Each structure stands twice: as C-alpha cells, then as structure tokens.
Amino acid sequence: MTAASPQAALAQRFRAFLPDSSILVTETERRPYECDGLSVYRRLPLLVVLPEDINQVQRVLRICAELAVPVVARGAGTGLSGGALPLTDGVLLSLAKFNRILDIDPLNRTARVQPGVRNLAISEAVAEHGLYYAPDPSSQIACSIGGNVAENAGGVHCLKYGLTVHNIVQLGIVTMDGEQFTVGGTGLDAPGYDLLALMTGSEGLLGVIVEVVVKLLPVPDTAQVLLAAFDDVVPAGDAVGRIIGAGIIPAGLEMMDNPAIRAAEAFAHAGYPEDAAAILLCELDGSRAEVETDVMRVRKLLAQCGAREVRIARDADERALFWKGRKAAFPAMGRISPDYYCMDGTIPRHRLPEVLSGIETLSRDYGLPVANVFHAGDGNLHPLILFDANRPGELQRTEEMGGKILELCVAVGGSITGEHGVGMEKINQMCSQFSAAELTQMHAVKAAFDPAGLLNPGKAVPTLHRCAEFGAMHVHDGQLPFPELERF
Amino acid sequence: MNADQHERLAEQLRDAFEHQQALRIRGGGSKAFCGRAVQGVALDVRGHCGIVEYQPTELVITARAGTPLLDVQAALAEAGQMLPFEPPQFSPDATLGGVIACGLSGPRRPFTGAARDVVLGVGMVNGRGEVLRFGGQVMKNVAGYDISRLMTGAQGTLGLLLDVSLKVLPTPVCERSLRADMDVADAIVAMNRLAGRPLPLSATAFDGEVLWLRLSGAEPAVAEAMEALCGEIFVEVEELTGQQFWRDLRERQHRFFSGDDELWRLSLPAASPALDLPGRTFYDWGGAQRWLKTNAEAGAVHVAINKVGGHATRFTSDGAVAQPLSPALAALHQRLKQAFDPVGILNPGRLYEGL
Ligand SMILES: Cc1cc2nc3c(=O)[nH]c(=O)nc-3n(C[C@H](O)[C@H](O)[C@H](O)COP(=O)(O)OP(=O)(O)OC[C@H]3O[C@@H](n4cnc5c(N)ncnc54)[C@H](O)[C@@H]3O)c2cc1C
C-alpha cells in the first residue's frame, strides 16, 4: 500500500458528509496545523478536517474509530505544551468553525457557546449586561474556550475568580465512538460523578468538547493596581504571603524578576524600574470604598516588607500600562533572544526563594539565561529560558534544563504544570510526579472513555515503558517504582 | 487527635479486594442519609485523623479524612480563615472525609464555590487497595486528570479518601443579613438580578414569603451595599436572627424541613420560574437549589424538573435516591467505577444500583 492511499480512502469517506473545503489534503493546506504554540515540536497530520456541526464531528469520529485512525482535536492552536501536536498517521480535527455564541442568559448569568469561540469574544458579547467571563489567559484574544476547557486554563485573575473549572457549568462532549454526552448541568451541579471536572484539563484525551456553558460574573465596580519595586526577590515573595495573610485576596498578584522587568520595559515602555530585582503588581477590585481601604493597607504592607517604591496607578490608562508590561512579557522575550522556552511549574508559595536560587544555579550550570514571571498569588511560576535553536545542541540543553526546573518544583511539593498542560512536552516529567500505580489508574480512566486509545494518544499520561526509558523514577514510599520493568 | 492509619486502611482494602468483600465506608455517620443504603462490612475511617499541614498564608489546609469537621473549622478560625463552601455538619461527629465524599455545600455555594471547587488534592485508596495521590497542595495543577475533584461527591464509590487538601479563604470581617417580603415570582427575579450586580453577596434565599440576603466582606464594602439595598425594599435583620436563619438552612433544621411530606432536593437553573408541583418550596442558592416538601408522585417531580433541565433527589426512609442517568451516561459511570473498583467493594450501590 502506498503512503497516500490511507489518506485518500479517509478523505473519500469524509466527503460523504463534509464539503471539499472542510477536508484539507494537500501538504500546503496541512502545513499550518503541524504545530501549536510550542513550535519546537512539529508533525504533519495525515489529514485535517473542519466540521461545523456536532453530527459531523460524530461521523468523523465513528469513521476514525472504525478504521483505527487516531484523532487530535485542535482549538486555536495556542497551547504551549504540544497538546494539539498532530500525528502523521492521524486526523487533525479542528473546531475552528464552531465559532458561534449560541445563547446568552443574563438573568441566569450563563452563556452557551461553541468550543471554537475565542475566550475574549465571550466577555465582549456579554459586556452590555454588565457581565464577563472571568478566566483571562494572556492569550485570550486568540485561544478558544474549548482549548481552555481542555487545558483548564488560568489567567492573572484566577487567585480570586478561579480557573476554567470554576467558571463552566456544562459541556457537550463526543467520545471516540461518536456517542454524544452532556456533562454538568445548567444548575449548579449534576447527578452522578463530577464528569465536568474530569473533562476539564483532560487535554483532548477523553472526548471532543462540542459545546460549553460558561458562568458569567458581574463586572466589579472598580479596580486599582499597585506596582512595588524591591531590591531583592525574597522580600517580594514575603510580601505576597503578608498580603494574603492579612485577609486580602487581590484580583491579581504578579511578580517579575529583573531580567523579565528589563525585557518587558524595553518592549512595552510601561515605566517599570529597570534596576529593581523584582516588581510586584497587585490588583484590587470591588466596591469603591473597599478598594480605597485595601489599597492603603496593601501599600503599608509592601513598605513594611521593604519595597523601595510603591506606585498606585493614577487612572485607568496608567493601570492598563502597568499591566501592559506584564502581559507582553512573553513576546518581549522574543525581542531579546532568538528563542525562549516557557516553563509552567507550581510551588507552595513559601518555597519561592529556594526555587529561584535553584533555577539560578541551573541557569549558570547550563549557561542559559532565565527570566522569571510568576503568578505569585497562586504559586504558578513561568521561568522563560532564553536560547538559540540555531546553535547545535542548545534546544536539547534547554529542554533538559527545563525538565530539571520542573523536577525541582515537584521536589518542593509542587507540580510540573499549573495551566499549560502536560501535552507532549512534559510527558517525561509526569514520571517524576506520579507513581506507576497512579499512572495506571489514569490509563484506566482513559480506557473508560476511549478503550482503543485513539483520542490524542501519546500525550498527557506516559506509558510505564516510557517512564522506565526516561529513567526519572518517582520514589514512592521508599520503593523504586516500576520494579516489574527492565532497566535500560 | 493525630493518627496515620493509611497502611491499615490500605491493607483492609487489599484484603477486601482479594475476598471480594463489599465494604461500607463510614466516618461520623452524620451523612448516611445522603445516599442509598449500602450492604457491606463497616469500615471506620475515624482513626485516620489529624491536620497534616496548614500554613494560613498558603490558603491551603491538608487533613486526614477522619478528622472531625469541627476540628478543621476550629483550626481555620484561629487563623481567621474558613472553608469557603460552608459545609453542612448535620452532627458534631461529621468528618472531613464524609463532607468531601458527599460533596455538600451550604448557602455560600453560588458565591464562593462548592466543595469540589476547593479540593486541590487527595490521597486515596482505590478498590485494589493501592494508595494513590492526585492533585496536590498548590492552587493550580493540571498534571494528569483531575481525579481529586472526581472523588468529591462520589460518596466513596471510587476510592476511600485518606486525606484532602483544600483551598481556604479569609473569613469575612463583616457579615449582615437583610430581608424583604415578596411573592415567589418577584423573589426569583430579584435574587438573580442582585447576583448580576457587583455586590458582596454571600447567600440569597426565599422561604415562601420572605427574601433573605446575606452580605459578607470588608466593612466598607458591606456598608456601601447595605446603604444601596436598604434604600430599595430591604430591611436589616438583627444579627443573631440572621445567623440562625442561615445556620438552620445549612443544617436543614429550618422548620420548613419538618412535616410528613416527602423531601426532595431540586437542582436547576437559578432563574427558572416556580415549578408547577403541589406542596411547599424553599429556595436557596438564588433559586438554583430548591427544597420541596410534597406528596406528589416521583414521576410528576421528574417530569417537572426535566422540563427545566435540572435534576431531583428524593429523600426516602432508605436514603437519598438520585435522578436516573441516561443509558449512555450510566454506562460511562459503570466503566469508570470498574476503572477504580474492579470487583465492586467500595460502597456498592451507594450512588446508584451497581455503582
Ligand atoms: C502568548 C501566550 C500566552 C498564554 N498565556 C496563558 C495563560 O495566561 N494561561 C493559560 O492557562 N494558558 C496560556 N497560554 C496557553 C494557551 O493559550 C492555553 O492553553 C489555551 O487554553 C489553549 O487554547 P487553544 O484553543 O489554543 O487550544 P489548542 O492549543 O488548539 O489545544 C490545546 C489542547 O486542547 C485540546 N483541545 C482543543 N480544543 C478541544 C476541544 N474542542 N475538545 C477537546 N480537546 C480540545 C487539544 O487537543 C490540545 O490538547 C498562552 C499561550 C500563548 C501563546
């Protein structure tokens, strides 16, 4: 059989219910789908399909199940862990045409949307009702709500307003056998197991999300942002604990270290103090009187913790400017380095000093600079490793160092990923976070939805063999895991 | 009390797995009525107890499943913090594990989230007797499937909870209650309109005649909201009366819950109009959780609730009966149960027949 024939046979089957324009066959057409936001991994899919209704999704999946062809779902392709990386012998199922907001219910404060709707488009559409959709990943102008659900995306406001899992109420899903389910409810809960939570963050391995009902919140009366500069990162980290310890839950609490400050400033001209070792951005929202009181309390705490300067945004423009630097931190790295690699570990907040010094040591050992951006309120660290992929071996060293950073996060009681997902990228580090029995349990969950293992195979949960090869053994209760497997 | 008995519990589950011996997991026994009756050998988890870790500035507490809920709440109160989901106790014997396994939340739920929303991680034993950990003690964690939240509300049918890590919040400095007389149609609209405004609401309920609101937060925020609302139709409720009202509602001890008619819990879109069913209705969660005392046939209740896309739980003398699942969903539930508990030793039948 020639390589082209399975492709032609599949395309033929799909033509029975999809127009030609929704089946991408030529290499030129398929090329844009070879990677997601983590472009160091690329693979050309066998075929790309762009269904536009649920029935078409069901038929695509049924045919693929019948022919044992693997399927990878894709939203906007902004994922940063290779979750939407296609398979060369598989179908890439794009949800891009599912781009309609189906219903807005202002009294119940929910919106029913298709999975390909952009995150920001929801808040824009409901703004006239004084409502918004809270999770706001930095990629919100581009990323899809389906992708947000699949990754359990967060944003700068999730300390106070929660992650995707806290802000959706119902999902329509189609499993690999083409069966359609509704999980969750339009009330506040559903009978049976919490499949809504299980689906959220499942990285496209359990089912294709074909509809989402999101929860909407009232837009706060007012918001204010403080910017504090520190000569040392340790007191900046302490200040975070002090603010929270004082009973204040900021709407956003972000930290940047000196390399991140300098890069962001050069790019966005936000007025950041370029000689500071760290800055903290603290957003407070609520009623006018409450925000005024809290701003004063936070300013005092910051000063007590040794901030050398605390600025309060004078108006909405300056507030936007303070945030602009932070939100531009990733693209800013692109300006100062040919490539950068974004990590996504979480740690218990009080371990920040030792983790930062651990990262500094790794940075020196590997000779690769690192800038740190930190969702400080919820302990989610984004070290950005700067490298040049054109230098032989540098990408490999970067990945190795990134893996070490994640293992460090696990060692202090954290996690290898806070919001970007495991995908392809962190599959090996899963072996250091979980034991063989835990991974086996996850595979059993997968099998309950997709016994043949055709949906996004090879992502998110490593096989035990892979872990044995990788050699990062999670020592559990003093025992070496995977004793049943040969060592390589 | 502080005792780590996870090895003993795992051993007992391994034994039960080998002998295919059904187990009836129990904590304080305060929530036995929240599911169906289980036939099996009783397995008491109360010996596995104690707070394992709590650093207030991390906003996370980790405690063993057998820890009395009251102990957890006392430790939090000392640091000015609380469990955001305002769990019902039903008895001083209630354990943390039971609260999470039943996934119960109180009046604060629509505003600060449900039990499942604050679960960050669990240690558990599955039906093979394997000790497993999912999630962790950090706010954000997307490594692997969210099995910790799946355990919440699964009533022990997928695993025995060993310990749980929960996100906690500062206790509001100030809390005040308001009331207004209203008819049901107006009350449903009012609760939902108010929830769409940026007010520091922490509970809204309607008892059939009176709409009750609770405001929680910083002093100035509550004061501002009081001023706005009292200018409308609300009047302030005396502090102790307010506290008692919310406590009685949370604990299902309000006089509404007495009487011979059967009790139902309805979960539905908050703004749904009053359902056309005989009996009395009490509205909590802004109308998203309704208590119904009725002599209607079960079939009639299900028809009414299905029309608005909700679900109903019926409290009978044999325990709580949840709304039947669609055949496809029921089959998926069966496969998940198999994945965690292949021989069916964990609280079999507690959630549904065969689960
Ligand atoms: C500049 C930049 C900033 C970012 N900032 C943040 C941030 O602040 N917070 C954050 O959480 N993330 C952030 N991200 C990561 C990314 O935007 C999120 O993970 C987002 O949720 C991905 O959505 P997507 O539509 O692009 O999904 P894709 O990349 O297309 O897919 C992601 C995963 O979801 C699966 N998937 C997609 N759609 C479906 C569906 N309908 N059904 C089933 N599975 C599906 C895919 O198979 C894949 O595994 C950022 C990315 C970039 C490039």
Give pLDDT tens digits along chain B (355 positions): 799 999 999 999 999 999 999 999 998 888 888 899 999 999 999 999 999 999 999 999 999 999 999 999 999 999 999 999 999 999 999 999 999 999 999 999 999 999 999 999 999 999 999 999 999 999 999 999 999 999 999 999 999 999 999 999 999 999 999 999 999 999 999 999 999 999 999 999 999 999 999 999 999 999 999 999 998 789 999 999 999 999 999 999 999 999 999 999 999 999 999 999 999 999 999 999 999 999 999 999 999 999 999 999 999 988 899 999 999 999 999 999 999 999 999 999 999 999 9
Structure tokens at A221: 């009366």
Q: How far apart are the first and last CA of chain B?
A: 33
SS3 state at B3: strand
Q: Phi/psi at B302 (nearest 5 deg)?
A: -65, -40
How do residues A380-414 score in pLDDT, each as one tens digit?
A: 999 999 999 999 999 999 999 999 999 999 999 99
Residue whose structure tokens are 């004078």: A314
Residue type, position A252, single letter: G
Residue of B139, B188, B337 to mutate, interface with A, max A Cβ within 10 Å: B139
Please, where in chain A does CATH 3.30.465.10 lie?
Answer: 101-218
Chain A segment 468-487 residues within 8 A of B by beta carbon are 477
Q: How far apart are the first and last CA of chain A?
A: 35
Structure tokens at A470: 């990788």
Q: Which residue of A has its CA nearest to B334?
A: A448
Give the max Cα distance, chain A. 74
Residue whose structure tokens are 């502080």: B2
| Cα separation, B221 vs B65, whole angstroms | 36
Report the percentage of chain A scoring pLDDT > 90. 89
The response to whether residue A81 sits with its C-beta less than 6 Å from ligand 1 reads: no
| Cα separation, B126 vs B341, whole angstroms | 6
The response to whether residue A58 sits with its C-beta less than 6 Å from ligand 1 reads: no
| Cα separation, A439 vs B5, whole angstroms | 24
The domain A6-94 having CATH identifier 3.40.50.2300: the answer here is no
Q: So what's the pLDDT on residue A4?
A: 55
DSSP 8-class letter at B322 = P
The response to whether residue A328 sits with its C-beta less than 6 Å from ligand 1 reads: no
The response to whether residue A95 sits with its C-beta less than 6 Å from ligand 1 reads: yes
Q: So what's the pLDDT on residue A334?
A: 84
| Cα separation, A89 vs A82, whole angstroms | 17
Give the max Cα distance, chain B. 67
> CB-CB: which of A129, A249, A422 is closest to B170?
A249
Residue whose structure tokens are 């609209």: B189
The response to whether residue A77 sits with its C-beta less than 6 Å from ligand 1 reads: yes
State the nearest Cα–Cα gap between A432 and chain B, in angstroms: 11
Sign of CA pseudo-dihedral B190, B195, B199, B203: positive
The response to whether residue A47 sits with its C-beta less than 6 Å from ligand 1 reads: no
Res A473 pLDDT > 80? no
Cα angle A440, A411, A234; round to 5: 145
Chain A segment 8-27 residues within 8 A of B by beta carbon are none
Q: So what's the pLDDT on residue A418?
A: 95
HSE at residue A290, side-chain half, CA atoms within 13 A, is 29
DSSP 8-class letter at B43 = E
Buried b (16+ CB within 10 A) or exposed e, A296-309: eebbebbeebebbe
* CA A199 – ligand 1 centroid, Å: 14
| Cα separation, A434 vs A28, whole angstroms | 40
pLDDT band at A488 (very low <50, low <70, confident <90, very high): very low
Structure tokens at A205: 């391995």
The response to whether residue A78 sits with its C-beta less than 6 Å from ligand 1 reads: yes
Q: Do the Cβ atoms of A73 and A150 come closer than 8 Å?
A: yes
Find the mean pLDDT for residues A48-56. Answer: 98
Whether B218 and A293 lie within 8 Å, measured CB to CB: yes
Question: What topology does CATH give the domain A337-411?
Answer: Alpha-Beta Plaits (3.30.70)
The response to whether residue A94 sits with its C-beta less than 6 Å from ligand 1 reads: no
| Cα separation, A207 vs A352, whole angstroms | 36
Q: What is the 3-state secondary structure (H, E, C) of chain A?
A: CCCHHHHHHHHHHHCCCCCHHHEECCHHHHHHHCCCCCCCCCCCCCEEECCCCHHHHHHHHHHHHHHCCCEEEECCCCCCCCCCCCCCCCEEEECCCCCCEEEEECCCCEEEECCCCEHHHHHHHHHHHCEECCCCCCCCCCCEHHHHHHHCCCCCCHHHHCCHHHCEEEEEEECCCCCEEEEECCCCCCCCCCHHHHHCCCCCCCCEEEEEEEECEECCCEEEEEEEEECCHHHHHHHHHHHHHCCCCCCEEEEEEHHHHHHHHHHHCCCCCCCCCEEEEEEEEECHHHHHHHHHHHHHHHHHCCCCEEEECCCHHHHHHHHHHHHCHHHHHHHHCCEEEECCEECCHHHHHHHHHHHHHHHHHHCCCEEEEEEHHHCEEEEEEEECCCCCCHHHHHHHHHHHHHHHHHHCCCECCCCCCCCCCCCCCHHHHCCHHHHHHHHHHHHHHCCCCCECCCCCCCCHHHHHHHCCCCCECCECCCCCCCCC
State the nearest Cα–Cα gap between A474 and chain B, in angstroms: 12
Nearest to B102 by CA among B354, B353, B342, B347: B347
Beta bridge partners of B351: none
Of A211 and A483, which is predicted with more confidence? A211
Q: Is the CB of B55 inside 8 Å of chain A's CB atoms?
A: yes
| Cα separation, A175 vs A89, whole angstroms | 20
Q: Give CA torsion, residues A217, A219, A220, A225, to 10 deg.
A: 110
Contacts of B226 in chain A (CB under 8 A): none
Whether B270 and A151 lie within 8 Å, measured CB to CB: no
In this structure, how many other beta carbons lie within 10 angstroms of the beta carbon of residue A56? 19
Whether B336 and A346 lie within 8 Å, measured CB to CB: no
* CA A323 – ligand 1 centroid, Å: 22
Q: Do the Cβ atoms of B110 and A188 come closer than 8 Å?
A: yes
| Cα separation, B139 vs A125, whole angstroms | 29
Q: Is the CB of B58 inside 8 Å of chain A's CB atoms?
A: yes
**In B222-268, beta strands by DSSP E:** 235-237, 262-267
Q: Is the CB of B82 inside 8 Å of chain A's CB atoms?
A: no
Which ligand 1 atom is the nearest neighbour of the CA of A144? 25
**What are the C-alpha distances in Å from A225 to residues A311, B26, B52?**
8, 49, 36
* CA A109 – ligand 1 centroid, Å: 24
Residue of A103, A108, A355, A479 to mutate, interface with B, max B Cβ within 10 Å: A108
**What is the distance of C-alpha A5 from the center of its chain?**
36
Q: How many helices (H) and strands (E) does chain B have?
A: 11, 18
* CA A149 – ligand 1 centroid, Å: 8
Q: Do the Cβ atoms of A80 and A344 come closer than 8 Å?
A: yes
Please, where in chain A does CATH 3.30.43.10 lie?
Answer: 6-94
Which ligand 1 atom is the nearest neighbour of the CA of A460? 49
In this structure, how many other beta carbons lie within 10 angstroms of the beta carbon of residue B228? 13
Res A98 pLDDT > 70? yes
Question: What topology does CATH give the domain A222-331?
Answer: Alpha-Beta Plaits (3.30.70)
* CA A146 – ligand 1 centroid, Å: 8
Whether A437 and B339 lie within 8 Å, measured CB to CB: no
* CA A143 – ligand 1 centroid, Å: 6
Whether A218 and B197 lie within 8 Å, measured CB to CB: yes
Contacts of B113 in chain A (CB under 8 A): 162, 166
Structure tokens at A367: 């000779």
Chain B segment 171-200 residues within 8 A of A by beta carbon are 171, 173, 189, 192-193, 195-200
**In chain B, beta strands by DSSP E:** 23-26, 41-44, 51-55, 60-64, 81-82, 119-125, 131-135, 160-167, 169-170, 174-181, 201-206, 210-217, 235-237, 262-267, 280-284, 289-294, 311-316, 319-321
Return mean pLDDT, chain A. Answer: 93
Residue type, position A27, single letter: E
pLDDT band at A481 (very low <50, low <70, confident <90, very high): very low
Count how many pairs of residues, chain A against chain B, have C-beta atoms within 8 Å. 268
DSSP 8-class letter at B286 = G
Whether B139 and A380 lie within 8 Å, measured CB to CB: yes
DSSP 8-class letter at B265 = E
| Cα separation, A237 vs B54, whole angstroms | 19
In this structure, how many other beta carbons lie within 10 angstroms of the beta carbon of residue A392? 7
Tell which phi-psi region holds residue B138, choosing left (phi > 0), alpha (psi between -120 and 50) or beta. Answer: beta
State the nearest Cα–Cα gap between A318 and chain B, in angstroms: 23
Nearest to B252 by CA among B29, B31, B27, B25: B31
Please, where in chain A does CATH 3.30.70.2190 lie?
Answer: 222-331
The response to whether residue A358 sits with its C-beta less than 6 Å from ligand 1 reads: no
Contacts of B333 in chain A (CB under 8 A): 192-193
> CB-CB: which of B150, B332, B333 is closest to A197?
B150
HSE at residue A23, side-chain half, CA atoms within 13 A, is 19
* CA A142 – ligand 1 centroid, Å: 9
Contacts of A437 in chain B (CB under 8 A): 130-132
The domain A101-218 having CATH identifier 3.30.465.10: the answer here is yes
Please, where in chain A does CATH 3.30.70.2740 lie?
Answer: 337-411
Nearest to B239 by CA among B216, B210, B273: B216
Q: Is the CB of A185 inside 8 Å of chain B's CB atoms?
A: yes
The response to whether residue A202 sits with its C-beta less than 6 Å from ligand 1 reads: no
Structure tokens at B20: 């295919």
Structure tokens at B136: 């962790």
